[in-house]
Structure 1
Amino acid sequence: MSAPLDYEVRIATHLDEHWATSLGCSVLIHEPDGTTTLRCRVQDQSELHGLLGRIRDLGIDLISVRRDARHI
């Protein structure tokens, strides 16, 4: 089994703080430009796709997803 991976997900709106826990992310940052950056640790690609599916289901525009080399 491989080690968990950290991802940085940017979305096109400010989310309430409670969404970090609901989405399984440890960090939620409201950016000055009105976007939100989420930092999430996922176990595998299936969990990442689940996270992205939940964001999609909320009707939120996804800006970017990138693997984050920093530790959360």
Structure 2
Amino acid sequence: MNGTNVSTEDNHGPERYEIRLKGHLDARWADRFEGLSFTYNNDGTTILNGPVVDQAALHGMLRRVRDIGMPLISVNQVDSKVSTGPDMNTD
């Protein structure tokens, strides 16, 4: 085994993620998910969408979701060039 570590990741900046939650996340939690936009869907779900710096930051966000008790439906990495529809940002 040699001592060279080769990364398979491109170091081109933060990746974009879409985190879907069951229920509508109250706007008072917006500061815990800084940098992500909130979209409230008619099906009773909330989508958090935005850039996440790295895997550690993603895991931190998922811990916050767990801590506030929101059921997690899905986590998807999305193409930053693709829009998920109208944004209802809580700002």
Contact 1:25 1:38 in 2 (8 A): no
Q: Which of the pair is proportionally richer in strand?
A: 1
- Unmatched segments (≥5 aa) in structure 2: 1-9, 84-91
Contact 1:4 1:44 in 2 (8 A): yes
Backbone CA RMSD of aligned residues: 1.9
Greater gyration radius = 2
**1:70 alignment counterpart:** 80
Structure 1 segments, 4+ long, off by >6 Å, are none
- Which has the bigger relative contact order, CA under 8 A and spacing at least 6? 1
- Unmatched segments (≥5 aa) in structure 1: none
Question: Identity, % of aligned pairs?
Answer: 40
- Mapping of residues 1-72 of structure 1, within 5 Å: 2=11, 3-71=13-81
Q: TM-score, normalised by structure 1?
A: 0.86
